[in-house]
Amino acid sequence: MANQALIDGLNQQLGREITTFLRYMTQAAAIAKFEHKSVRTMYLEEVTDEVGHAQYLMNQIIMLGGVPKPEIHYEPPPRDVREMLRCDASQEQTDVQNYVRLAALAEQDGLYALKLKMEEQAADEDEHGWEMRRAVG
Judged by the rule CB under 5 A, the positions of this chain that interact with Fe ion are 17, 50, 53, 92, 125, 128
Smallest distance, Å, CB 137 to Fe ion?
A: 20
Shortest separation between residue 46's beta carbon and Fe ion, angstroms: 6
Least Å distance, CB 41 to Fe ion, is 15
Q: Which is nearer to Fe ion, 9 or 17 (CB)?
A: 17
Nearer to Fe ion, 92 or 114 (CB): 92
Helix axes 37-63, 4-30, angle to 10 degrees: 160
Smallest separation, CB 1 to Fe ion (Å) = 25
> 1, 55 in Cβ contact below 8 A?
no
Residue number with CB closer to Fe ion (27 or 34): 27
CA nearest to 103, candidates 21, 13, 1, 17: 13
Between 12 and 65, name the residue whose CB sits nearer to Fe ion: 12
